[in-house]
Chain A
Amino acid sequence: MTVLTFVDLTLFVMMVITALAVVRTRSLFATAMLSGVFSLLSALLFITLDAVDVAFTEAAVGAGISTVLLLGTLALTSRYERPNAHSPALPLLVVVVTGAVLVYGTLDMPSFGDPTAPVLTHVAPDYLQRSPHEIGVPNVVTAILASYRGYDTLGETAVVFVAGIGVLALLSGLRRRRRKDEGEDA
């Protein structure tokens, strides 16, 4: 059983503050910046959880590309959010009920950092033992990603490909301004 260290708790508190700020702010520019901050803080938290590859990817993708895309979208849409006309009671109820159900679901889970947890038996020690002999690559995550689970990575590359094609299909054409009197092409 691992005690969450002071660093973990500090990072977590900062993430909660960032998430609450995203809820409250009405400026979309601030929202984009706060989402970048959130991704960076989560990358730091991934490092404390010993997941260095994941932290690297989250920092590059979340704090880098995602922020640029959000700002690009804001330049093409609007800068502010309209104030909310509905009462927050029903969403709050839904969220509280979902959270309670999830907490009930975690009651059976093993403690944080438990070496005898079921998820750490069967496949994982098998990969850790076989990987130096069969593949000879020191980074086990790359070995699993590219060799043992190569099909999944092929699917993931195909997903990235399809996303690129989709964005090109949506945004490559000429922009037609649908004003009622003009029919000009951009």
Chain B
Amino acid sequence: MRHHLILRVVTKFLAGTIMLFALYVQFHGDYSPGGGFQAGVIMAVAFILYGIVFSVEHVQRVFPPWLVHKLVAVGVLLYAGTGVYSLFAGYAYLDYTALSPQHPEHGQHYGILLVEAGVGITVTAVMVAIYYAFVGRSPLISDEEW
């Protein structure tokens, strides 16, 4: 992709903007369409776009594979851990009133925030890990044959 100047310049600008938009969608999932899944996919797209236009080695310097593989598990752990914390606090599994016993509505807000964060982290990491896995395989068709 070295000779596609416009793609390279636009991608350098877009990658950061896409990540910002992903964070916006994640945190505004309470007030507008959005939430963990959409935000996770959009954040992964930022990294994948950078990896397609520049090389995978460049993007793996920023988001190395060992970090990706750990984040895949961290998100699910965060989600399930919220439930387990509720169990230890004496409530039912995933009962958000455990997070703020005096104000149940605040507990719901905290709970939804934590849970959606877990979902967003896992989805981002899984999409980037799948992309790394596909790109890491040496291709059988050379670039000239395309």
Contact = CB atoms under 8 A, between A and B. Distances in A.
Q: Do chains A and B touch in the complex (CB under 8 A)?
A: yes
Interface of A: 52-53, 55-57, 60-61, 64-65, 68-69, 72-73, 75-79, 134-139, 141-143, 145-147, 150-151, 153-154, 157-158, 160-161, 163-165, 167-168, 170-172, 175, 186
Interface string B71-90: 01101100110010000000
Given A134-B105, A145-B35, A154 B79 contact: yes
Given A76-B140, A147-B111, A167-B133, A136 B105 contact: yes
Interface in B91-146: 94, 96, 104-105, 108-109, 111-112, 115-116, 118-119, 122-123, 125-127, 129-131, 133-141, 146
Closest 5 CB pairs of A and B: A164-B126, A72-B134, A171-B133, A60-B41, A146-B112
Contact of B141 (A60, A75, A165): A75
Contact of A65 (B119, B127, B135, B139): B127
Contacts of A141: 33, 35
B104 A171 contact: no
A79 B143 CA distance: 12
B137 to A, nearest CB: 6
Contacts of A168: 69, 129, 133
A90 B106 CA distance: 59
A145 B130 CA distance: 25
Contacts of A138: 30-31
B71 to A, nearest CB: 10
A161 B134 contact: no
B35 A175 contact: no
A186 B141 CA distance: 14
A153 B136 CA distance: 31
B112 A147 contact: yes
Contacts of A158: 76
A116 to B, nearest CB: 27
B33 A139 contact: yes
A160 B126 contact: yes
B143 to A, nearest CB: 9
Contacts of A160: 122-123, 126
Contact of B108 (A53, A136, A154): A136
B41 A61 contact: yes
A95 to B, nearest CB: 32
Given A76-B134, A157-B76, A171-B136, A151 B42 contact: no
A45 to B, nearest CB: 16
